[in-house]
Structure 1
Amino acid sequence: MHEEVIMKNRDLAYCERVIKQHSKSFYYAFSQLPKQDRLAVYAIYAFCRMCDDAVDEEQGSIDQIQSELDHFKRGKVVDHPVWRALAWVHERYEINTDFYDEQIEGQRMDLMFKQPETFEMLVTYCEKVAASVGGMLLPILSHEVDAQRYAQARRLGVAMQLTNILRDVGEDYRDLQRIYLPRQMMAHYGVTETQIAQGQVTNGFKQLFEGLAAEAETRYKQFRDELSHYKREARLPVCLSATVYGEILNVIREHHYDSLSQRHVVPRSRKQALYRKEKHNVGG
């Protein structure tokens, strides 16, 4: 039993290192949760990160994760820190494993990437890779797990993924040769691939940015009404995660919309100011 406890602690510590390394905004927000809940969130994040990393490798990597998930569903836990941590999570929370399948499906869309033609196609992608995360986290963060709560949690996931896309336009093009901005919106605002490649922040790009940012910010705003449905101790962390992520859009605006030549983050001092503001507004 003592060895099992040591192993569990190591697995959960591994997941914490993953989120701390790859998403300082999420880590900052969710580190405010009670211990069991925050460790569960870290495990979910580590799974999603594992899927995301698999896309950078060959097709077989994501296929392997799917196979390991199929084993997990049958109660056979693969000998890996993330899967063992998820087994610990599933002993404590009722999480629908269909959301794991959806996450993998979204990552396959990246593996066989095609630039979305329409905004609706972009939202479909966002729902796979990010709204699925909202579905995974809801049973950890709320005692109210029903269709309406799931729908709103998923809308928040879409908002965050839209924010990611606007933040990473230049990086995605340089490193991955991907453009997530819908072709129809680019054509409407006169934004070309050449302009993105050359880092030209045109008026058209600013307008396109604001068009997608408005979609994200509407979803962020609507989600605030959801907080009363979350565990009292989760309301501030959940609100903070959304607020800090949404603030990325303002940081980009302050840097003249240049998400083509640089990747912007919310400074720690600003996160702390947002924490104080939300603590006053939400309590906690």
Structure 2
Amino acid sequence: MVSDDGVARGKSIQRRTGKTFHLATRLLPERVRQSTYVLYAFFRVADEVVDDAEGVPPAEQRAELERLRAAALGQEPTDDPVLEAFADLRETHDIPDDDVNTFVDAMLTDVSKSRYATFAELRAYMDGSAAAVGRMMTSVMDPDDHDRARPHATALGEAFQLSNFLRDVREDVVERDRIYLPLETLSAYDVSEAQIRNFETSEGFKQAMERELRRAEALYHEGVAGIEALPEDCQFPVLVAAVLYADHHRLIRARDYDVLSETPQISTARKLALVALTRWHWAWNRDPETVFRRVSAIPDHPDATTPNRERTPGLARRLLRGAVDSLRRLT
């Protein structure tokens, strides 16, 4: 049984480090919400081994990740409440060992790898850093047809990760000396690493960003198409998460692709307005793909450049107060 301490630690970590994901998590049914706090905490603990590792030798980072792997898989005892809670969760929900191993392997990749030559190479990394996360979440939600839901969860996890990469170009290169834009894309538009380091938003950089935005948007369409395969009480929260993460695309385009002068951030008011707008459409139509097309910043078709629908900002503002009140009542 997952300990209350493990859940509380996970909730605290998620509230502090993953505000967008935390907002969507609060909409989940309690049977999934508590487990999601534990999952997220495990992901963050492993991620911080390599992201907050300044001055720590690579060999020590790898050893720590292997220690986390052994504890998470129940192969070694641990007194860490996060790892203990995750190990219990893995057994309770039959989370495949392969997904845990794939995730930890991706964190090991971050120890020594900071550039990706092709999108195929980047996608192989994301299978652990993001897709495995989506698959573990699916295990916790426990849909009737896991085989149907898991490929879409993989795509949606990749879409979220790509949106984060595109938002965090400056942060990744400044704080971690990492560039997650495929080098083949940068080369195709004559963008050098020096330009990125010098924060030069050239026309070529804008074109490279647009190419990767479209690639992520195709994954959103693929991922959202599988939300209907999830249990009914999980569909709306996952849809909200997709709408919130996808809104970074609107912000990036509104800034004319300038993610180098500062990292774009979606305001809390904007997030709550999107939750309210999504809830309103969901009340009238329970088809995730239809609601996503109407609410999200993603074009109706992956090859489009702008959404083909009317915006309703006035409605979102009117619903904002109700959204805030409902979120405050959530635990």
- TM-score, normalisation: structure 1: 0.91
Distance 2:145 2:84 in 1: 24
Distance 2:72 2:177 in 1: 34
1:74 is displaced (CA, Å) by: 4.2
Shift of 1:13: 0.7
Q: Which runs of 5+ in 1 are unaligned?
A: none
In 2, distance between residues paired with 1:207 and 1:159?
A: 19
Which whole-Å deviations, capped at 9, do the CAs of 1:246-272 have from their partners, x for residues lacking one? 111111211221111211122111111
Greater Cα offset, 149-158 or 22-31: 149-158
2:33 counterpart residue number: 38
Query: Identical aligned pairs, as a percentage?
Result: 28
Q: Paired residue for 1:102?
A: 102
The separation in 2 between residues aligned to 1:25 and 1:105, in whole angstroms, is 25
TM-score by length of 2: 0.79
SS of equivalent residue, structure 2 residue 225? helix
Q: In structure 2, what is the equivalent of residue 253 of structure 1?
A: 253
The answer to whether the 8 A contact 2:73-2:87 is kept is no
Structure 2: which amino acid aligns with 1:245?
Y
Q: CA deviation at 1:144?
A: 3.0
| Larger mean Cα displacement after TM superposition, 179-188 or 144-153 | 144-153
Taking the aligned partners of 1:145 and 1:97, their CA distance within structure 2 comes to 19
| Equivalent residue, structure 1, for 2:92 | 92
Tell me the equivalent position of 2:15.
20
**In 2, Cα distance between the equivalents of 1:71 and 1:117?**
33
Following the alignment from structure 1 to structure 2, what is the Cα–Cα distance between the partners of residues 163 and 184? 18
Letter of the 2:17 counterpart? H
Q: Which amino acid is the alignment partner of residue 226 of structure 1?
A: G
> In structure 1, what residue type is equivalent to 2:259?
S
1:141 — aligned with what?
A: 141
Conserved 8 A contact 1:139-1:145: no
Offset from partner CA, 1:112-169 (integer Å, 9 cap, x none): 1141111111111111211110111102224235333211111111111111111111
Alignment partner, residue 181 of structure 2 = 181
CA distance in 1, matches of 2:82, 2:19: 19
Change in CA separation of 1:140 and 1:167 when aligned onto 2, cut-off 3 Å: same
User: In 2, distance between residues paired with 1:158 and 1:130?
Assistant: 6
What is the CA-CA distance between 1:62 and the residue it aligns to?
3.9
Say if 1:72 and 1:216 are closer, same or farther in 2 by CA, change over 3 A.
closer
Equivalent pairs, count: 279
Residue 230 (structure 1) aligns with: 230
Could you list the runs of 4 or more consecutive aligned residues of structure 1 that deviate by over 6 angstroms after TM superposition?
Answer: none
SS at match of 1:116: coil
User: What aligned pairs does 1:43-54 form with structure 2 within 5 A after superposition?
Assistant: 43-54=38-49
Cα gap change, 1:71 to 1:199, in 2 (>3 Å): closer
In structure 2, C-alpha distance between the alignment counterparts of 1:78 and 1:261, rounded to whole Å: 43
Aligned residue type for 1:177: D
Corresponding residue to 2:4 among 5, 9, 14: 9
Give 1:89-238 correspondences, 5 Å limit.
89-90=89-90, 92-238=92-238
The CA distance in 2 between the partners of 1:147 and 1:51, in whole Å, is 27
Deviations 1:203-243 (A, max 9, x none): 11111111111111111122222121111111111011111
- Secondary structure, aligned partner of 2:226: helix
Q: Which amino acid aligns with 2:48?
A: D
Q: Which residue identity is paired with 2:46?
A: C
**Alignment CA distance shift 1:233-1:77 (3 Å):** farther
> Could you tell me how far apart the structure 2 residues matched to 1:77 and 1:34 are?
31
Between the two structures, name the one with larger relative contact order (CA 8 Å, sep ≥ 6).
1
Distance 1:142 1:209 in 2: 36
Contact 2:69 2:104 in 1 (8 A): no
Q: Which runs of 5+ in 2 are unaligned?
A: 287-331
| C-alpha distance in 1 between matches for 2:132 and 2:63 | 19
